[in-house]
Structure 1
């Protein structure tokens, strides 16, 4: 059956079950079960007549083949594990219990245990296949070929062989095989395989394009900017394939629990079989051996070792279905303990689409001159404010005028242009360079790029940013879950205050340098940890990588284009929607709730039936229900996690 890999128990039953969604086949899996069930029913219907034949030969002739068909994989797996020193697993428990039943003449019960166990395994495989579908649908976005453009020839090749700088052709209906920049053509892209977004994205020459998206309408010529191994899609595929390797605390608890639980149960069964006949008057070995057998069947921990990892697997799959990549079950668990979510502002709560709204000059400089100077200085920066100024300038920048260049994090840029020292940045940079200016200049609302030439203030450029459409919904969603919302930003106090009011954010801190954000988060962490709570930080995954790494749960927003996001974050939101954060937390809570329901239910029922079996009330048939019935109910309950 392959490794369930869940709770430290080996479930290699050897009966051909597979957990891959593409490999599971009801017809294939049902055939041996149906054959065993037919033989079992014949044995039950004719149990008495067959049992009256000499030595019960006919009964054995029907039921032993039924046992062999349904239990062969379990028995052989128990034997192989025994040779490897792995004694106390569920294969061992099932084998000992059923062989003991046969030795006691309880042949129908032995077959029933194995048969119903196989039915449970069948439903388990089906549930795993369904929950894996959401994750493996991501793996299906891996492109198979790339159309390499060599002069006028188009040659299909493997994406792994294409080098950075080479050209590829992407036709309508094809997957984009590599990250790149569009040189020719325009089209609509289906980004839903990566982001879950159903609305196509319009792209044209000059836009960046990501591997895994689907070209819908036009032919695109793309210049490759990353080798396949370093592309976003390769990193995401690796993340998805390894997501189940990081166990939640609950899974680790069950692993430790099963390690001690199984040998204790075996010893208790031996004690039940051996001790009462020695000390209780009238107690027979056969009666207490039967009770010990019941205890063995009841105690098999199938419901726990199956349903708990299945629950977390379903949680990760459900999140993936909604465009949220969780790097492992441990982070689902961590999300349930988050009581404070800290947001970066630019690119997280706002679109980061900065646009110049006003240009104000001082000391005789004209607007075109001020804009040209600022654009020349900012042309080397990748900051959204710098890009908005260059976009406003709109013409080709003569970089030969730029002689020296120094970017000061959290302040701005100092450069030498045509032998003039030009300063472009925020008011902190004006104070740092001791540039004289009017006090009210520092009180301007919005994002402001001040300019100065040779130590003389020459004016400022006002830049505005837009809130994301679901910004209000994102904050409301978190608050409805009892979560405090905090914003940390490097922007001016007035900008931060306006955003905080619009979104109804609980607390904010403004004018923070990158290192200040880490310090601010440290204070929030200390306060939360005193209350035994966790803190999540949500950022764009590039500038905020240090803060994302420091948080209890780091969440990268819109992280598909950012290597830093995928590498650093624990959770990657594959769209630019901050409202997905509350959805991720809701999925985590639902997952944990169902997992603990299964733990409580399985332990409660098993405890009750162990007690009933020990005092002689429960028979093997009740024991079979307590084992397989509990496992089936737990599996069906865990499958609810995949439903919205």
Structure 2
């Protein structure tokens, strides 16, 4: 049983990691993921006896002010806003008392006791909550966190007489924390707005009345009406009306799509002008909009290696720095001499600088921004792991039909043998393909143009990679490729025409061939050129078509390799062979759209499904989904992955570099507490702002 919770007001990445780690320890709990960007905690558990209470206890152990809600019953409340207002008032009052303390400190007539009391009061207002958290966490065995570091550093400053510095450090720390929380929230809001495709309501038609209901309450077969300016609430078929649909939120395409009666429409699109009457074909849970939202919201559960490294690094980094600060404060005065207070001050500065917040917040935010930015372009990435892996792709394998070609087949040639007419050949072929939804079958049935009585069909057998065998009015009809006729020992004449050739035999007598052609997509040539310009070393095409057709298309697209006349199992074997040839960190991506591609999509390092017209099975098995059937979107995905990687590594180098510099300056007594605060919260804010650039990537 899957359970999801909203942790309203959670902004601390460090605390999120600890909460996730503790929830994993609950007996019977599996597959725990905490998405900081959506503040959603998801897990699997056989029963939920006492689970809500256990989750709330763990969350409040680290974040007492965070409210815990079940996602099913959650309604956005004022908790987070009230928390922000409280922190703002706390900062204002604390700053006022700090200024008073500084002014009073200059008055010789005021006693030292009163001066100290005002400093302590301002410190209590500004840092009381930090100090209490640190004490509470120590008793819970959680020592090395930012609250502990700031508490030790500022209390230590009080002990050595640096009252003003102690309060100032806490003031600027709290200001930095507020800026950091605000930056994270705005980033999350920007990403959420990108995915603002969830319909609020649906107009369901009951008789002559329209009732406004929640999309979740509708079922397959219900009739809904979508007025101008409204979102299409569920996937369906237009049964009345004509309009233009804005599909930008789903596909990234700015050009509206025209729809009329008989056309399929996807939930999340916006109706621009006319009124559409739609018959629902999928419930809300299975609809396009629900799947997209689910994919993006759960993307952070598949973390990139860089994210995992930073999480692990921060766990060991803080204790090491605390030990280093202790040694810095104790060892030099014992062996080198000098004032104890001076070396203690250096150790405290060391502690302030050491907080790893810049990394643990900005790195996941960078990847999540990349995923959100990709969705804006109609590219759905199921996890930062796959976004990072795109940077290492050097081999891309394409399925042909529906991926590089239109997948729209038409009968272009009919050649009969003696005793059969064109009409008879098409009729036999159409009846043989009557139960198939394959594009080739659909084109033959379209060319036949008549209703087919399924009662006259018997002993229907679809032979994978060969074709179909069926009894039609007592006659055994074979329709498929050359392998099918060879399998049944039927003598035939090979056909060398360009296109997909369907061989027809009736009662083991060769009746003729039907040639069906498929067009190369408009942007396929551009896509291959773009990919090669981005460093892709090998482009490969796999197809079940004959060698002549496959090689012609491969030549036209300038592909490096082509494999033809393949069965579905052959595609998996070839992908495995190509993966075995990869060197170092090189990755192989497979791009496909059909149901037969699902096994290959799952087997490849990165499976990429063409989602617009692709099958549900292919989309489910894929790691990345291109919502439009444009292979050139793959080049855009690689661009976004590259930009995300650049931002992430900028933040890693910047954060660690600045901290290394200031840790060195602090150790030599050059850096003061003021510089230390910048090296902590200042770097965090700058890294977060840098991470938000990914969201705005064009």
TM-score, structure 2 normalization? 0.85
* d(CA) in 1 for partners of 2:679, 2:440: 65
* d(CA) in 2 for partners of 1:24, 1:640: 25
Matches within 5 A, 1:345-424: 345-424=400-479
* d(CA) in 2 for partners of 1:553, 1:52: 74
1:231 matches 2:287: yes
DSSP-derived class of the 1:348 partner: helix
1:633 to 649, 674, 686: 686
* d(CA) in 2 for partners of 1:298, 1:285: 20
Which residue does the alignment assign to 2:56? none
Q: Which digits, 9 at most, give the CA deviation of each residue in 1:2-34, with x for residues without a partner? A: 14446836796778999x999789995766545
Q: Would you say the 8 A contact 1:67–1:114 is kept in 2?
A: yes
DSSP-derived class of the 2:589 partner: strand
* d(CA) in 2 for partners of 1:50, 1:468: 81
1:170 matches 2:226: yes
Which residue does the alignment assign to 1:160? 216
* d(CA) in 2 for partners of 1:182, 1:554: 32
1:53 matches 2:110: yes
Which residue does the alignment assign to 2:676? 623
Which residue does the alignment assign to 1:512? 566
* d(CA) in 2 for partners of 1:424, 1:560: 26
1:106 matches 2:162: yes
Give 1:196 deviation, angstroms.
Answer: 1.5
Greater Cα shift, 2-11 or 608-617: 2-11
Which residue does the alignment assign to 2:330? 274
* d(CA) in 2 for partners of 1:548, 1:206: 31
Give 1:494 deviation, angstroms.
Answer: 1.6
DSSP-derived class of the 1:121 partner: helix
* d(CA) in 1 for partners of 2:67, 2:206: 47
Cα distance change, pair 571–127 in 1 and its aligned pair in 2 (3 A): farther
Which residue does the alignment assign to 2:656? 603
* d(CA) in 2 for partners of 1:343, 1:641: 28
Quote the RMSD (CA, aligned, Å): 2.8
Which residue does the alignment assign to 1:502? 556
1:263 matches 2:263: no
> Where does structure 1 lack aligned partners over 5 or more consecutive residues?
none
Give 1:600 deviation, angstroms.
Answer: 1.9
Q: Would you say the 8 A contact 1:244–1:328 is kept in 2?
A: yes
* d(CA) in 2 for partners of 1:153, 1:363: 62
Q: Which digits, 9 at most, give the CA deviation of each residue in 1:533-586, with x for residues without a partner? A: 111111115221100000111111125763223421111111111111121122
* d(CA) in 1 for partners of 2:628, 2:174: 42
Cα distance change, pair 3–9 in 1 and its aligned pair in 2 (3 A): farther
* d(CA) in 2 for partners of 1:362, 1:454: 14
Give 1:480 deviation, angstroms.
Answer: 1.0
Q: Which digits, 9 at most, give the CA deviation of each residue in 1:415-460, with x for residues without a partner? A: 1111111111122222222221124x2x332112221211112222
1:326 matches 2:381: yes
Q: Which digits, 9 at most, give the CA deviation of each residue in 1:33-72, with x for residues without a partner? A: 455555555655x3752576311634752x5555445434
Greater Cα shift, 238-247 or 395-404: 395-404
Which residue does the alignment assign to 2:530? 477
* d(CA) in 2 for partners of 1:104, 1:154: 74
DSSP-derived class of the 2:106 partner: helix
Give 1:125 deviation, angstroms.
Answer: 3.4
Greater Cα shift, 181-190 or 24-33: 24-33
Give 1:158 deviation, angstroms.
Answer: 2.3
Give 1:382 deviation, angstroms.
Answer: 0.9
Cα distance change, pair 39–432 in 1 and its aligned pair in 2 (3 A): farther
Which residue does the alignment assign to 2:41? none
Q: Would you say the 8 A contact 2:191–2:695 is kept in 1?
A: no
* d(CA) in 2 for partners of 1:511, 1:361: 24
Cα distance change, pair 323–66 in 1 and its aligned pair in 2 (3 A): farther
* d(CA) in 2 for partners of 1:51, 1:198: 71
Which residue does the alignment assign to 2:55? none
Cα distance change, pair 67–486 in 1 and its aligned pair in 2 (3 A): farther
Greater Cα shift, 621-630 or 572-581: 621-630
Q: Would you say the 8 A contact 1:17–1:24 is kept in 2?
A: no
TM-score, structure 1 normalization? 0.91
Which residue does the alignment assign to 1:8? 17
Which residue does the alignment assign to 1:573? 626
Matches within 5 A, 1:20-419: 28=85, 32-33=90-91, 36-37=94-95, 40=98, 46=103, 49-50=106-107, 53-55=110-112, 57-58=114-115, 61=118, 63-64=119-120, 66-133=122-189, 135-137=191-193, 139-281=195-337, 283-419=338-474
Greater Cα shift, 373-382 or 109-118: 109-118
Which residue does the alignment assign to 1:525? 579
Q: Would you say the 8 A contact 1:319–1:325 is kept in 2?
A: yes
Q: Which digits, 9 at most, give the CA deviation of each residue in 1:148-177, with x for residues without a partner? A: 333333333222222222332333322222
